[in-house]
Every structure is written in C-alpha cells, then in structure tokens.
DNA sequence: ATGAAAGCGCTAACAG
DNA sequence: CTGTTAGCGCTTTCAT
C-alpha cells in the first residue's frame, strides 16, 4: 500500500524509493546533495532515479520550501503591449543580462507586464521581482512589498516608493559630460530632443540639460514628444531643426532620435557634423554604420541587468549589503564622426 | 486549534474561513467562482478576503491542480548569452506578442535559455513550452516531450523533432517573391548574403535562392558568414560587393545586413538604388529612415508569437485543432527606395 | 447550501 | 547512517 504508484501519472519520489529499496527521505537527500549519506547510497539512488526518468515536482518543492526560484521581470507598458517601442534595444540587452545572471544563480525570469490582471500576478509564485522604471506610486510595487517580497528597480524609484534596492545610471553626470563634449567639439547652441513623460530618466536628463544651459549661459532649445510614439519622434526632430533659433548640435534622449535627426538634417540640407553635431542615447549598433556614424551614449544595460538581479537574489537569500539601497552605474559615450569637431578629420 | 494561524507568516485560506465564519471549502469556492453558493455568501467571503489582504498561494494551487499557468519560452543561445544578437528585433517583437497573448489567457512566460543547466529546467513547473528555432535533435525538446508537456515551435522543426505543433513563415515563397520583385525593378544579377548556420530559416531561404537562380538561369552569387557575429556580417557584405562578378542587387538574410551593405556600397562608390538594389530581412524601423530607405522583408513576428502561444495553450487545455500540426504565416515585403527600379521616381 | 477529510509530492524535524 | 511522520496551502470528492 505504501508504493501505490500502480499506473499513476508520473514517476514520483516514492517510486524511486521503492525501486531503490530505500526511504523517500534518502531519495530526497541523495538527489539534493545533503551530506548525510555515504557516496555509495547516493550514487545508487541517483542511478535508479535516472533510469526511471524521475523529475522532482517543482510545485511540491516550492510549496514545501517556500522558494520557487522564480523572479518577476516587470516591464512598463504603453497601450496593450508589454515593453515600450523606444526601449527595445535597451530592454533586450538588459533582459538578456538579467536572464543570464539569474540563471547562473539557479533562478529563472518570468515576464510580467505591469498592467497584468491581478490574478496573473498572484497565480505565479515569485521569490522577488525586478521592476523597470517604476512610476511614482506604482501599485504593483506596493502590492509586492506588502506581500513581503523583495523588489529591486532598474531606475531610481520616484517619490517614496519602498523598493528594496535600486540600480541606475548617473544620468545628470552623463548628460553634463556629453554636453561638454559637444561644446568642446565646437557646438555653440545645443538643442535637446526630450520626452513628455515624467519618468526619472527623462526628468533627470532634462534637468541636467537645463542646468548646463544655465551654467554656460545658453538659452535652452528643446522639443518634447511622447517617447513611446515613434512617429512623434520624427516630427519633433524636424520641428527642432526648423526653429528660427536652430541649434548647431543636438542631443536626443531616445534610441531612434539619431536616425530621425539625421533624416531631418538631410531635409534641411545640413551636413553632419559640419553644420550639425549629433548625439543620441542608444544601445543600437546601427549608429556605427550610418552615414556618418553617430555618437551614442550607452547606458550599459548589461551591467544594469546583472546588478539588479544580483541585488535581488542577495535580498531573497538574505545576503546583507554594505550599499545603503541604491547603486549607480557608469555610462559610456561612444564617440563617432557625428560629434567630431571641425578640426578633427579622422574617420 | 483549527485556526492556528497565531502569528504565522501569511494570511491563509483558513484565516479567511475563520474570519468569515465559514469553512475553507466555501472560501475556495467563493474565490474561484464555483457556482454552488448564493451570491450573499460569495460576496461576504470575498469582502473578508479582501479586507484581510488574502492572496492564495500559487504553489499550493499548482501542486493541487497540476497547472502552473507558466509557459516556457526557450531561446537559442550562442556563447553564454541567451538570444542571438542578430535576432534582437525579431525576438523582441515575437516575445512581446507572445507575452500579451499568454497573458490574455491567464498565462505568464518564463524565459529559459536552451542551454540552461538541467536543474533550472526541472525547478520550474511548466504547463508547456514555446521553442524558438529548435535544432535538429534538440535535447530540451526531447526531454520536454518525454515529460508529456506540449511543445510548440517557432520555425519548422528540423528532422523528426516531435513537437506538438509549429508555426513558421513560408520562407521559400517569400524569397522567390522578393527575387521576382528585384528582377522586376531591373536587377540582372542578384546576390545573397546568407549564414553558415544550418537552421531551417537559413537553409530554406538559401535553397529558394538557388532554385530561383536555376530557374532564371543566373549564376548564384553569395557570401555566407556566421550570423551571430555582427562584425562578420560587415566583412561578408564587403566581400560580396568586392567580387569580380559583383551583383547589381543584393538580398541580406539577417537584420543588420541592410546597414552593412549600405556602408559597403558607399565604400565602393555604388549608389543605391541606381547601381545597386538592396533588400534585407528585418523587423527594424531604422530602415525607414536610412539614406536611402531600405526595402525589408518582415516575418511578422507579432503574428508568429501570438499564433505559437495560442496553439500551445490550446494544446495545454486540450482544445482540439483542425490544422494537422503546423501552420504557415505570411510575410510582408515593405518596399522602399532601395529597391525601386530605374523608372520609378516617387520617394 | 455547506463542511470534513483526503491528499497533490515533496522536505525537514525527529527518532531510531 | 536511515526511516517515520508531519505538514506546506490549497482543491476536490463525498457526506451531510
């Protein structure tokens, strides 16, 4: 009666125990590498389990141990679709690094759009969650924290959002640095292509631009558009170059801005970099082969993804940290022809 | 003693039952919408559960019901990282659509690189799996099928891989159509930029090209390179245009080929489309704003992602199908300036 | 219309 | 060194 697995659905731990002539505890210990049994027993049990094609039930283990090995990856949504269009390359890189990092520590990632119906959220047993760019009073984060789950955000949490930790770039420093770079290349009036959204990235970057303008005594010249709409970006780029106070250098905050600005420049007969210096924030490699190649600011999403996951898993496993709660990662300016000053002439 | 939840970790179903003055069965039924209790009871229980902030345990439910609501999304890997570089845009779009579709039916996606350590695979309770471009005798697929899980692949399975169903484009038709398009635009000798890998997409596309050449009596002109290496693509593009039998039109099978070919054309002083017609297979929008804009073949990854998930969930839920086991989705040729013939002159 | 009780398959105390 | 036992928190018969 103990091994009633007559013709039951799947091979269970009891079947293995029976076949190996040991107790289920021994099977469990042998398979989980608990150090209390002699190698002979362990090998034997493992072999039997293998032969039987036994796979432990993840559900049962999760229920018993309270750990699922699952990490949520919450992505912002605009409209119905998960992920925003303009963040493709960034998101893909970040998610890829996060997936690797999680995997290396035995966890897997579950993609969960922030707007998910609530029942989907509670239908999956999560050990913790990575949140990308949470909004000010993000209900998802609040709920997760209430459940006692660790939450680490990619991007400083706005307001008083109670995340466990966060990872972000030093956006102010990056923008200031980049503007200095453009000025050094001969820019006299630098324009900005920015977003109408209020996320931290857009806000901090724009603020940094305004500070810089203020510091060097330049009038700000910028156009803002809804960043999730790719068409709006092309229009805004055009608008920026059509202004009477047309800038002689432009920084675009979003990935597609480079090609949009290049196209707009062509329409107005502006040569890059001779008449117009160009930089945009992007992770895309297309800018290495445009004509001319365009200087980009990389946010290094791989590092961010890795760091976020490490922080989260550390929190899950109760590993303490010296960092207070947020860490800042460097950005990288990849200088190409579009921002080389008039006196430079190398490719 | 029945409601021993003195100061226990989380609100359980028993706590709700106690607080509502009913049995746990009633709570379960009320929350899951079983139709056997009067509305009054149901409302009352729901309200109490809400007030207590009760969240059912996904792990327990999964153990009991055998369904986790989790679908694996297996991505091919080159090297250590999940996803291949050249497939970014395709993968991102496809994954996004798959995520939406799954969500709409109450499922979530788990990202699982095909090379995962085995223990990660068996640590997560999956109801089924989507596999992207499985290789010939993919061990992961074999194992999953052995476990009795439904597996649907994006891309025809090579060999005799026993997937439950598959979704794919009609690559042969797409390539033939595209080559006809180029010929109609005035191409006399069409070249191909292809891959050295043996996946179905590359194989079928290349075959179709060879067939077409054979049919129209053109000598094949192609260069193959390892598609996962972005640098190799640029080199191969250059090689193709450097040949003595230089083609006057080129089709590139991989996403970055368009910019690479454009750059190579510039190096050789070839004007596009006047001296060289260009088409590449890509989901990227950058080709709408390059100079000139480049014609692309879209594989419509959204549709594929959606279809794959629908098929999988249907299989999970035991919904029968008329389709035998594979379905073919159309592609779309997005015609732009790079492939407009000499006699056309609109933008 | 509701409740009691039996597990789902595993891990972790606790005995031997 | 190994086995017995008690649950993890639900859903689901079956009984009332």
Range with the largest mean pLDDT of B94-108, B150-164, B165-179: B165-179
| A279 within 8 A of A182, measured Cβ to Cβ | yes
- Residue from B139, B97, B12 nearest B307 by CA: B97
Lookup: tokens for A244: 């009477």
Which residues, in sequence order, are CB contacts of A167 under 8 Å at separation 6+? Answer: A152, A153, A154, A155, A304, A307, A308, A311, A326, A327, A328, A329
Separation of A22 CA and D3 C1' (Å): 9
Lookup: tokens for B137: 């005798």
Which residues, in sequence order, are CB contacts of A49 under 8 Å at separation 6+? Answer: A16, A20, A27, A30, A31
| B120 within 8 A of B64, measured Cβ to Cβ | no
Nucleotide nearest to A16 (CA to C1'): C9
pLDDT at B286 over 90: no
Other Cβ atoms closer than 10 A to A79: 10
Q: How far is residue B3's CA from residue B5's CA, in Å, rounded to a whole number?
A: 5
Q: Which of A305-314, B18-27, B169-178 has the lowest mean pLDDT?
A: B18-27
* DSSP result, A193-226: EEESS--HHHHHHHHHHHHHHHHHT---EEEEE-
pLDDT for res B228: 81
User: In this complex, do A123 and B109 lie within 8 Å of one another by their Cβ atoms?
Assistant: no
Residues 105-144 of B with CB under 8 A from A: 106-113, 116-117, 119-120, 122-125
pLDDT for res A71: 97
* DSSP result, A105-163: TT-EEEEEETT--HHHHHHS--SEEEEES--TT-HHHHHHHHTT--EEEESPPSTT---
pLDDT for res B1: 36
User: In this complex, do A99 and B82 lie within 8 Å of one another by their Cβ atoms?
Assistant: yes
Q: What is the pLDDT of residues A294-326, one digit of tens each?
A: 999 999 999 999 999 999 999 999 887 766 789
Residue A6's pLDDT band (cuts 50, 70, 90): very low
Sign of CA dihedral B150, B151, B156, B157: negative
Q: How far is residue B175's CA from residue B3's CA, in Å, rounded to a whole number?
A: 67
Beta bridge partners of B191: B221, B250
Cite residues whose beta carbon is less than 7 Å from strand D.
A 21-26, 36-38, 41, 60, 63-64; B 8-10, 12-14, 24-25, 28-29, 31-32, 54-57, 59-61, 63-65
Mean per-residue pLDDT, B149-173? 92
The residue whose CA lies nearest the C1' of nucleotide D3 is A23
- Residue from A252, A235, A233 nearest A84 by CA: A233
Separation of B60 CA and C8 C1' (Å): 9
User: In this complex, do A256 and B285 lie within 8 Å of one another by their Cβ atoms?
Assistant: yes
Beta bridge partners of B221: B191
Contacts of B263 in chain A (CB under 8 A): 289, 291
Q: What is the pLDDT of residues A208-248, one digit of tens each?
A: 999 999 999 999 999 999 988 878 999 999 999 999 999 99
pLDDT at B2 over 70: no
Residue B347's pLDDT band (cuts 50, 70, 90): very low
Lookup: tokens for A107: 């966890």
Lookup: tokens for B99: 């995520």
- Check whether the bond before A292 is cis (ω within 30° of 0): yes
Residue A3's pLDDT band (cuts 50, 70, 90): very low
- The bridge status of strand B332-334 relative to strand B326-329 is unpaired
What does pLDDT average to over chain B? 88
Separation of B93 CA and C6 C1' (Å): 47
- Residue from A154, A106, A100 nearest B75 by CA: A100
Mean per-residue pLDDT, B6-31? 85
The Cβ-side half-sphere exposure at B232, using a 13 Å CA radius, reads 14
| A315 within 8 A of A271, measured Cβ to Cβ | no
Q: What is the pLDDT of residues A20-74, one digit of tens each?
A: 889 899 999 999 877 778 888 888 999 999 999 899 999 999 999 999 999 999 8
Contacts of A263 in chain B (CB under 8 A): 289, 291
Nearest beta carbon to residue A259 from set B91, B120, B286: B286
Q: How far is residue B303's CA from residue B309's CA, in Å, rounded to a whole number?
A: 10
Distances (CA, A) of A137 to A134, A160, A218: 8, 8, 35
Separation of A21 CA and D3 C1' (Å): 12
Q: How far is residue A2's CA from residue A265's CA, in Å, rounded to a whole number?
A: 79
């Amino acid at each position: 009666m103990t091994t009633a697995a007559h013709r039951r659905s799947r091979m269970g731990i009891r079947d293995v125990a029976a076949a190996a002539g040991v107790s289920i505890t021994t099977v469990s210990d042998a398979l989980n590498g608990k150090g209390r049994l002699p190698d002979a027993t362990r090998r034997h049990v493992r072999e039997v389990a293998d032969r039987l094609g036994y796979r432990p039930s993840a559900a049962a283990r999760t229920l018993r141990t309270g750990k699922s090995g699952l990490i949520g990856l919450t992505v912002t949504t605009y409209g119905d679709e998960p992920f925003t269009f303009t963040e493709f390359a960034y998101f893909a890189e970040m998610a890829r690094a996060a997936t690797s990092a999680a995997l290396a520590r035995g966890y897997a990632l579950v993609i969960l759009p922030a707007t998910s119906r609530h029942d989907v959220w509670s239908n999956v047993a999560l050990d913790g969650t990575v949140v990308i760019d949470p909004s000010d009073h993000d209900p998802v984060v609040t709920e997760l924290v209430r459940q006692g789950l660790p939450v680490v955000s990619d991007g400083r949490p706005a307001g008083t959002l109670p995340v466990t930790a966060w990872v972000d770039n030093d956006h102010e420093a990056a923008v200031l640095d980049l503007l200095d770079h453009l000025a050094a290349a001969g820019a006299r009036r630098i324009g900005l292509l920015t977003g109408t959204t209020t996320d931290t990235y857009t806000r901090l970057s724009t603020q940094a631009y305004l500070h810089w303008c203020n510091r060097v005594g330049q009038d700000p010249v910028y156009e803002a558009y809804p960043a999730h709409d790719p068409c709006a970006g092309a229009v805004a780029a055009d608008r920026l170059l059509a202004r009477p106070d047309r800038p002689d250098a432009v920084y675009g905050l979003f990935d597609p801005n480079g090609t949009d600005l290049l196209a707009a420049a062509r329409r107005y007969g502006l040569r890059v970099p001779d008449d117009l210096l160009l930089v945009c924030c992007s992770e895309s490699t297309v800018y290495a082969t445009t004509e001319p190649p365009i200087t980009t600011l990389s946010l290094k999403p791989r590092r961010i993804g890795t760091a976020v996951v490490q922080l989260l898993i550390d929190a899950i496993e109760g590993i303490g940290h010296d960092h207070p709660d947020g860490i800042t990662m460097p950005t990288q300016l990849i200088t190409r022809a579009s921002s080389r000053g008039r006196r430079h002439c190398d490719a």
